[in-house]
Amino acid sequence: MDRRQEVEQHYAELLAPVYVWMLGGPEAAAARAKAWVEQRGLAKLAPGIAVDLGCGPGFHARALADAGFETLGVDSSPELLAEIGDPRVRTFAGDLVAFEERLGGARAKLVLCLGDTLTHLASERELDLLFDACARALAPGGVLALTFRDYSLERRPSECLIRVREEPGCMLSCALDFEPARVRVTDILHEWRDGRWIERRSAYSKLRLAPARVREKLLARGFTLETDEFAAGLVTLVALRT
């Protein structure tokens, strides 16, 4: 099984059914997505085409549609795409790098790749291909907005078990195992059923992307960094296509 298949299987069998719950529920997730778009001033780019790479259940994609964009949501999980349920969001289930084909030669005003989507790519070579596609697909003055987890520094063992969300009857945890170029992620779901706890586990690998390398790749493709932030382990880069 290759890495792409591993990720798709992980989401289909474990993560997709609890993904919205993991985000705090639909109302909270939608409010955060709307606030993120507003705080970054992205609505001013509308109208035009916006692409949400790794859109999942589409909270940011719907926020972009609310702002007046013609929105394309791309994700490798058909299960998550099926939860969008908004006719204003055109969806594509497949390889993120292939999003450019879905534009039919049109140029986008905005491309998002949020959450930890970048680290799901199979290799840095695939990241290069994705950034090449973004550079071609964005119109001059267009914006590429990225977030990703910084796994470049190995964590202490005591920091490698993370409680993601817990409520009565359901608990999701995440264990990290650091390898030279990747981090092995094991999601552990506990559910209370029929008077006992049922445990399910599934694992996949993420890239250990160094923020400095990502910045270098963007600058080499003619992007200008407008936002470069780091908070709570999450890197945020907003880049202008010049």
DSSP string, 68-79: TEEEEEEES-HH
* Rg of the Cα atoms in the chain: 18
Domain with CATH 2.20.25 in the chain: 157-206
Q: What would the pLDDT profile of 161-175 be if each residue is shown by its tens digit?
A: 999 999 999 999 999
User: How far apart (Å, rounded) are the C-alpha atoms in residues 177 and 240?
Assistant: 35
> What is the rounded average pLDDT of the residues 50-57?
98
Residue with tokens 């586990």: 201
Q: Over pLDDT 70: what percentage of the chain?
A: 100
List the beta strands (DSSP E) in the chain: 48-53, 69-75, 89-93, 108-113, 138-149, 161-167, 170-178, 182-193, 196-207, 223-231, 234-241
Q: What would the pLDDT profile of 88-100 be if each residue is shown by its tens digit?
A: 999 999 999 999 9
**Mean pLDDT estimate for the chain:** 96
> What is the rounded average pLDDT of the residues 52-71?
98
Element (H, E) at 127: helix 124-137
21, pLDDT greater than 80: yes
The model's confidence at residue 5, banded by pLDDT at 50, 70 and 90, is confident
Q: Are 145 and 40 in contact (CB under 8 A)?
A: yes
Q: What would the pLDDT profile of 118-156 be if each residue is shown by its tens digit?
A: 999 999 999 999 999 999 999 999 999 999 999 999 999
Q: Are 93 and 78 in contact (CB under 8 A)?
A: yes
CATH topology of domain 157-206: N-terminal domain of TfIIb (2.20.25)
232, pLDDT greater than 90: no
User: How far apart (Å, rounded) are the C-alpha atoms in residues 125 and 128?
Assistant: 5
> Residue 20, Cβ neighbours under 10 Å: how many?
18
Q: Is 89 helix (H, G, I), strand (E, B) or coil?
A: strand
The CATH code that applies to domain 3-150+208-241 is: 3.40.50.150
User: How far apart (Å, rounded) are the C-alpha atoms in residues 27 and 190?
Assistant: 23
Distance of CA 111 to the CA centre of its chain: 12
> What is the rounded average pLDDT of the residues 60-87?
97
| Token duo for residue 212 | 């400095």
> What is the rounded average pLDDT of the residues 51-63?
98
Q: What is the pLDDT of residue 233?
A: 87
Q: What would the pLDDT profile of 177-221 be if each residue is shown by its tens digit?
A: 999 999 999 999 999 999 999 999 999 999 999 999 999 999 999
Domain with CATH 3.40.50.150 in the chain: 3-150+208-241
The model's confidence at residue 4, banded by pLDDT at 50, 70 and 90, is confident
1, pLDDT greater than 70: no
